[in-house]
A and B are shown apart, each in its own frame.
Chain A
């Protein structure tokens, strides 16, 4: 499977991270995980395969989702990677319009919805 699609999961809660990685791998994706925005940026700039989408948590230590989006937007090499914001915030879409992800998904997400938001494996 040399052409398999790669998805990056940025999420500080290890269990959530692993659960998502587990289902995505089951669905045929290659998954890269990062526990915060800063680790994710490091991986992206350090030769990790370019993901076809990033699943991004917002409230994270060290570098949160907002800071990650800002860093991503200012880096031409990364700016156009689609981002799915996965958040527990009750009203994120209206509260943080500045984040402008490609898709908003509320925690806990339905697996079908999550998979549908990704480019096909």
Chain B
């Protein structure tokens, strides 16, 4: 007998706890005897059945939420592969018919833990329940016995109600948070997609602006251009090139984000490369009366990606040129220090405040001098430079310059890492490999960053005790103070330089959250986490781990072993702050609930405050979206503004004074491209906005024909070029809609009709029924292939090959979203070769606003 394994099934079933084991599809696969007793069920009758099938909510209690909460928790376990503790639940357990039927009230505190299979997927979920019914009932009985039984009993049930209400609030806050995370993730994806699309599509019209312009400026006889005209054309070209640079920046970013940017090392003369790049800025600098100096050795052989290094330098130089006032100085110096090259680009501009010296390398981070004022510029250039330097395993920092402004200091290894392919004359030097991981590179970055100001130093754990206490663990001093500066002043900080110290500090100070680096000398973050989880007092202490992007597997392991959250380096301070605040909120809410259960005395305000905090986190996510849209919009539209104003001015001047038909023609065609760019930018911003939140309509009362004619006006040039006559049939239909967006709907559909059916007539028919309007746009074009019909209103789908026509394939998708926001429908029918008909049906007013129609009718004359 001694060698035989014990009978695990018998042991499990006899275990004194309440256990239920579920398969991932939530079928019951095992249950302990205790569980069966508590639920008054029989094993044979529940095995193999779905848990919600066996334990439904009490249909007599419309407030019952136990099933929903349990489902949410189980789904969370399946998704996160981590255990999930539920708030105390009131369950109505079905009594077997033999015992009178009906439901019996139970108070349970359930925990759902995953059991992972060899493949890392959830194989089972153990649903463990602590039955606190007796406890609750005991309390009730005690009170019933007391002299003031009546009053106390009422109070007890009130408090219980309160506790359950708050437990529910906690659940809904949980859900809110989940939604928030999902949306943040979606936003990230959207951004990347947006960049890629915007970049590819905007480049075509830009090429079409730049090409003819260059031809006009450089062709023979160009000297016959008037000086004024030449000046104007050059300005247009400069703006278009600027826009092209921004677009390239966006494209690079999306490549870097997608991890598709890699280095192509070559044997290069870094000195010549630096001189060549600086030379390219000479005329720009002269134009601004800037003295531009370059200092470099005669020759400096290095293994780098020459194009990327040029890009880095160009970004730094253009920054310097942009921020240095006229008559200032810019200096670029290349030197060698051991196995690294140092490139300093410095200027006599306004410089960068000490607290912004890290932030300048964050993308879309406008330089802010602390009083809410902005220094303009994209910020993308520096972010890209930094990413490219990181790829080279180099480092960049900014410091004050002797010239009075900022000095950007780039350090690049002179040799490619071991194993990297190097074009021409490869000479592998075994000592050249640095073997640095991304995490170490990030460390290096902070190494070179100046130590923060006084406020950034980790403060002692004193001060207002209502502020959460965060324990920051990192063996790297500057990283510690950086994290501390991110969290101060909302939180109190204690710091530890090692895992061992962290445990001592945690035992002494009982922090609310631990933020720990993963890579530390001595005890690693993972070992620290295991050590903490072993101690009962700290088994539930929220633990946030700082990870490097490269180490995905490690990150997953940390989360599986009980870390609550992770933050990827390099991170934005707001992100870290939000994540820490979330963990604090969860922990404090849990503590309040526990206290309330133990003493039956709750602190409602405190909980309300926690919930308010979470809500503001959701608002912050929306703010991030809006700021992104505002920045993208600003960066893309500013060059367009100069371009459009110049072109229209030029056209007006040509009209007045004459300037040769060629200039007029070129300006007209450039104008059309500008309008197309503006349209594309609008389209992309609209889609980004559509997908990151509900569409808010701006309703007004008008005749739908106004929107139709506005759309026709917009497209008149295009229709004329395609020789497409447009006819509108039908009388006035007054309704309440969003005028601008409805115009978009018509112009998107009409634009398609013109594009795909040049030369054939388009008919727009309007027809009103009792409370709806039907808008039909019929063309005689090539039609839509039947296999595409079901999908043409999806995003990024188009009925013609990508390169054949411009546009993003978003037009019909946007139209659908707008129509749906108006509670209408959109549909298309088509026979190949015989044109297409798109039909939009709209209520005369969306139901949500119909009530105020009468009031409106009286005011709208």
Binding site for B on A (CB under 8 A): 12-13, 15-16, 18-20, 22-23, 26, 59-64, 67, 86-90, 95, 107-112, 114
- In contact, B645 and A90 (Cβ under 8 angstroms): no
Q: How far is the CA of A109 from the CA of B645 in the complex (A)?
A: 7
Q: For B238, what are the chain A residues with a Cβ–Cβ distance below 8 Å?
A: 15
Q: How far is the CA of A16 from the CA of B685 in the complex (A)?
A: 22
Give chain A nearest CB distance to B710 CB in angstroms.
14
- In contact, A23 and B652 (Cβ under 8 angstroms): yes
> Would you call B734 an interface residue if the criterion is a C-beta within 8 Å of the partner chain's C-beta atoms?
no
- In contact, A19 and B629 (Cβ under 8 angstroms): no
> Would you call B674 an interface residue if the criterion is a C-beta within 8 Å of the partner chain's C-beta atoms?
yes
- In contact, B642 and A13 (Cβ under 8 angstroms): yes
Q: Name the interface residues of B627-670: CB closer than 8 Å to any CB of A.
A: 629-630, 633-646, 648-649, 652-653
Q: How far is the CA of A59 from the CA of B641 in the complex (A)?
A: 14
In order of increasing CB-CB distance, the 9 nearest A-B pairs are A88-B637, A111-B648, A23-B649, A108-B644, A15-B642, A19-B645, A108-B640, A88-B634, A108-B641
Q: How far is the CA of A108 from the CA of B629 in the complex (A)?
A: 16
- In contact, B638 and A107 (Cβ under 8 angstroms): yes
- In contact, B689 and A19 (Cβ under 8 angstroms): no
- In contact, B374 and A111 (Cβ under 8 angstroms): no
Give chain B nearest CB distance to A35 CB in angstroms.
10
- In contact, B375 and A61 (Cβ under 8 angstroms): yes
- In contact, B648 and A88 (Cβ under 8 angstroms): no
User: At the interface, is chain B mostly helix, strand, loop or mixed?
Assistant: helix
- In contact, A89 and B634 (Cβ under 8 angstroms): yes
> Would you call B25 an interface residue if the criterion is a C-beta within 8 Å of the partner chain's C-beta atoms?
no
> Would you call B182 an interface residue if the criterion is a C-beta within 8 Å of the partner chain's C-beta atoms?
no
- In contact, A16 and B634 (Cβ under 8 angstroms): no
Q: How far is the CA of A115 from the CA of B751 in the complex (A)?
A: 29
Q: For A20, what are the chain B residues with a Cβ–Cβ distance below 8 Å?
A: 645
- In contact, B373 and A64 (Cβ under 8 angstroms): yes
Q: How far is the CA of A19 from the CA of B653 in the complex (A)?
A: 13
Q: Name the interface residues of B73-90: CB closer than 8 Å to any CB of A.
A: none
- Interchain pairs with CB closer than 8 A, number: 95
Q: Nearest chain-B residue to A57 (Cβ)?
A: B638
Interface centre among A89, A90, A111, by most chain B C-beta atoms within 10 angstroms, is: A90
Give chain A nearest CB distance to B762 CB in angstroms.
26
Q: How far is the CA of A119 from the CA of B498 in the complex (A)?
A: 69
Interface centre among A23, A87, A107, by most chain B C-beta atoms within 10 angstroms, is: A107
Q: For B643, what are the chain A residues with a Cβ–Cβ distance below 8 Å?
A: 108
Give chain B nearest CB distance to A49 CB in angstroms.
23
Give chain B nearest CB distance to A29 CB in angstroms.
13
Q: How far is the CA of A114 from the CA of B649 in the complex (A)?
A: 12
Q: How far is the CA of A15 from the CA of B636 in the complex (A)?
A: 14
Q: How far is the CA of A86 from the CA of B689 in the complex (A)?
A: 21
Q: A20-B645, A90-B689 are in contact. Are A108 and B652 (CB under 8 A)?
A: no
> Would you call B235 an interface residue if the criterion is a C-beta within 8 Å of the partner chain's C-beta atoms?
yes
Q: For A111, what are the chain B residues with a Cβ–Cβ distance below 8 Å?
A: 644-645, 648-649, 652
Among candidates A12, A19, A67, residue contacting B642 with C-beta atoms closer than 8 Å: A19
Q: How far is the CA of A38 from the CA of B644 in the complex (A)?
A: 27
Q: For A89, what are the chain B residues with a Cβ–Cβ distance below 8 Å?
A: 630, 633-634
- In contact, B649 and A60 (Cβ under 8 angstroms): no
Q: For B374, what are the chain A residues with a Cβ–Cβ distance below 8 Å?
A: 59-61, 64
Q: Nearest chain-B residue to A86 (Cβ)?
A: B641
Q: How far is the CA of A87 from the CA of B637 in the complex (A)?
A: 9
- In contact, B649 and A63 (Cβ under 8 angstroms): no
- In contact, B373 and A19 (Cβ under 8 angstroms): no
Q: For A16, what are the chain B residues with a Cβ–Cβ distance below 8 Å?
A: 638, 641-642, 645
Give chain B nearest CB distance to A120 CB in angstroms.
16
Give chain A nearest CB distance to B698 CB in angstroms.
8
Q: For A107, what are the chain B residues with a Cβ–Cβ distance below 8 Å?
A: 637-638, 640-641
> Would you call B678 an interface residue if the criterion is a C-beta within 8 Å of the partner chain's C-beta atoms?
yes
Can you list 30 A-B pairs with a CB-CB distance of less than 8 A?
A13-B638, A15-B239, A15-B639, A16-B638, A16-B642, A19-B645, A19-B646, A19-B649, A20-B645, A23-B645, A23-B649, A26-B649, A26-B652, A59-B374, A60-B374, A61-B376, A87-B634, A88-B630, A88-B637, A90-B633, A90-B685, A95-B626, A107-B638, A108-B640, A108-B645, A108-B678, A109-B644, A111-B644, A111-B649, A111-B652
Q: Nearest chain-A residue to B635 (Cβ)?
A: A88
Q: How far is the CA of A55 from the CA of B647 in the complex (A)?
A: 19
Give chain B nearest CB distance to A31 CB in angstroms.
13
Give chain B nearest CB distance to A98 CB in angstroms.
14
Among candidates A12, A22, A23, A95, residue contacting B376 with C-beta atoms closer than 8 Å: A12
- In contact, A90 and B646 (Cβ under 8 angstroms): no
Give chain B nearest CB distance to A62 CB in angstroms.
6
- In contact, B373 and A67 (Cβ under 8 angstroms): yes
Q: For A62, what are the chain B residues with a Cβ–Cβ distance below 8 Å?
A: 373
Q: A26-B653, A111-B652 are in contact. Are A59 and B645 (CB under 8 A)?
A: no
Give chain A nearest CB distance to B679 CB in angstroms.
11
Q: For B641, what are the chain A residues with a Cβ–Cβ distance below 8 Å?
A: 13, 16, 19, 86, 88, 107-109
Q: For B636, what are the chain A residues with a Cβ–Cβ distance below 8 Å?
A: 88
Give chain B nearest CB distance to A11 CB in angstroms.
9
Q: For B637, what are the chain A residues with a Cβ–Cβ distance below 8 Å?
A: 88, 107-108
Q: How far is the CA of A23 from the CA of B634 in the complex (A)?
A: 22
Among candidates A18, A61, A114, residue contacting B373 with C-beta atoms closer than 8 Å: A61
Give chain B nearest CB distance to A13 CB in angstroms.
5
Q: How far is the CA of A26 from the CA of B242 in the complex (A)?
A: 25
- In contact, A88 and B645 (Cβ under 8 angstroms): no
- In contact, A108 and B674 (Cβ under 8 angstroms): yes
Q: How far is the CA of A5 from the CA of B648 in the complex (A)?
A: 21
Give chain B nearest CB distance to A14 CB in angstroms.
9
- In contact, B235 and A15 (Cβ under 8 angstroms): yes
Q: Nearest chain-B residue to A95 (Cβ)?
A: B626
Q: Nearest chain-A residue to B629 (Cβ)?
A: A90
Q: How far is the CA of A61 from the CA of B636 in the complex (A)?
A: 18
Q: Name the interface residues of B202-242: CB closer than 8 Å to any CB of A.
A: 235, 238-239, 242
Q: A19-B642, A88-B641, A95-B626 are in contact. Are A110 and B648 (CB under 8 A)?
A: yes
Q: For A15, what are the chain B residues with a Cβ–Cβ distance below 8 Å?
A: 235, 238-239, 242, 639, 642
Q: How far is the CA of A108 from the CA of B646 in the complex (A)?
A: 11
Q: Name the interface residues of B374-390: CB closer than 8 Å to any CB of A.
A: 374-376
Q: How far is the CA of A6 from the CA of B642 in the complex (A)?
A: 21
Interface centre among B238, B372, B645, B648, by most chain A C-beta atoms within 10 angstroms, is: B645
- A23-B648, A23-B652 known, 19 other contacts, Cβ within 8 Å: A13-B638, A15-B242, A19-B235, A20-B645, A22-B646, A22-B649, A23-B646, A26-B649, A26-B652, A59-B374, A59-B376, A61-B375, A62-B373, A86-B641, A90-B630, A90-B689, A95-B626, A107-B641, A108-B640
Give chain A nearest CB distance to B572 CB in angstroms.
20
Q: For A86, what are the chain B residues with a Cβ–Cβ distance below 8 Å?
A: 641
Give chain A nearest CB distance to B511 CB in angstroms.
39
Q: How far is the CA of A22 from the CA of B652 in the complex (A)?
A: 12
Interface string of B606-640 (1 = CB under 8 A from A): 00000000000000000000100110011111111
Give chain B nearest CB distance to A84 CB in angstroms.
13
Q: How far is the CA of A67 from the CA of B374 in the complex (A)?
A: 11
Q: A15-B238, A111-B645 are in contact. Are A63 and B373 (CB under 8 A)?
A: yes
Give chain A nearest CB distance to B133 CB in angstroms.
53
Q: How far is the CA of A62 from the CA of B645 in the complex (A)?
A: 25
Q: How far is the CA of A29 from the CA of B638 in the complex (A)?
A: 23
Give chain B nearest CB distance to A116 CB in angstroms.
13
Give chain A nearest CB distance to B506 CB in angstroms.
44
Give chain B nearest CB distance to A86 CB in angstroms.
8
Interface centre among A19, A60, A63, A108, by most chain B C-beta atoms within 10 angstroms, is: A108
Q: How far is the CA of A105 from the CA of B351 in the complex (A)?
A: 33
Q: For B674, what are the chain A residues with a Cβ–Cβ distance below 8 Å?
A: 108
Q: Nearest chain-A residue to B639 (Cβ)?
A: A15
Q: For A26, what are the chain B residues with a Cβ–Cβ distance below 8 Å?
A: 649, 652-653
Q: For B634, what are the chain A residues with a Cβ–Cβ distance below 8 Å?
A: 59, 87-89
Q: How far is the CA of A111 from the CA of B635 in the complex (A)?
A: 20
Give chain B nearest CB distance to A107 CB in angstroms.
4
Q: Nearest chain-B residue to A17 (Cβ)?
A: B642
Q: How far is the CA of A91 from the CA of B373 in the complex (A)?
A: 20
Q: How far is the CA of A26 from the CA of B652 in the complex (A)?
A: 9
